[in-house]
Structure 1
Amino acid sequence: MSSNTARRAAAFRKTREAHLTEVAEDYVELIGDLINEFGEARLTDIAENMAVSQATASKIVSRLKREGLVENRPYRSIFLTDTGEAMANEARRKHRIVLAFLQALGIDDATAQADSEGMEHHVSDVTLTALDALTRRLNRQADS
């Protein structure tokens, strides 16, 4: 296998792996946000915020439960486990950095919000660190 082929294969493999965790990250981030905002995360609120049916939200919450990211009891709210909370915090951190970078570039808020939702799942830690450093530098220059 040539080095170009290996590099291309590694990039596609990384993208496929990101897609596997993308839904889980979005859901645990939302569940954490709902708990912080309302004190609980109800299935109806999750479905509404994710713009999916309750059946779809229920299926994904069941998957998150099997993966040890959430806990729930019949007729009760949904709660994050410690692992789910850690995943939500990391997703929130990535989202915040990507969003701030796009806004520092002058991208309008609606576009920056929409674009950062997808980008946060695919950015490497190396790139994320560079985006954060550049954003801080741009913001300092703008404040001067």
Structure 2
Amino acid sequence: MSKPPAISDRHRRTRNDHAQETAEDYVEAIDEVNGASGKCRVVDLARQFDVSHVTVTKVVARLKREGLVTSEPYGPLELTEAGRQLAAKSRRQHEVVYQFLLAIGVSEKVAAIDTEGIEHHVSKQTLDCFKRLTEQLQGK
């Protein structure tokens, strides 16, 4: 039996996961809004996340520094290639977790809510297991 990771390692991973969570949520939302209406503005994100314009502006500034988003002053938000890749990865993780929760009998409503937290904190290994078990449970 292997030794569990040190407590400091587990907490470090959780802090890193939290730092990435907002970026994943925002790039996924920008991608969705752009796909639905052709353009995404700060006000769209403020409405979607039920936060202030200032909060969104600060997050978008961070996403720009990280090379995930571009925009001109007062212009719509656009994802960079890195932003599009992160949005696609987030969407795939979301779907794997959601389908797993449904496969084990969680209601659609609860699965939708729980997926929003789990998807950001699950390792690739765990996601692979979720996917494999989902396929087994669905008889695929």
- TM-score under structure 2 normalisation? 0.93
1:63 equivalent in structure 2:
62
1:40 equivalent in structure 2:
39
What pairs up with 1:1-144 in 2 under 5 angstroms?
6-140=5-139
Q: Percent identity between the aligned chains?
A: 42
The 3 A distance-change label for structure 1 pair 6 and 101 is closer
- TM-score under structure 1 normalisation? 0.91
Higher helix share: 1
Q: Counterparts of 2:130 and 2:66 in 1: how far apart (Å)?
A: 31
Structure 2 unaligned segments of length 5 or more: list them.
none
The 3 A distance-change label for structure 1 pair 111 and 5 is closer
Structure 1 unaligned segments of length 5 or more: list them.
none
Deviation at 1:7, TM superposition (A): 3.0
Q: Counterparts of 2:13 and 2:101 in 1: how far apart (Å)?
A: 23
CA RMSD of aligned residues (A): 1.6
Tell me the number of residue pairs that the alignment of Structure 1 and Structure 2 aligns.
139
Deviation at 1:47, TM superposition (A): 0.7
Q: What are the Cα deviations for residues 7-27 of structure 1, in whole angstroms up to 9, with x where unaligned?
A: 332222211110110101110
Could you tell me which amino acid in structure 1 is paired with residue 12 of structure 2?
Answer: R
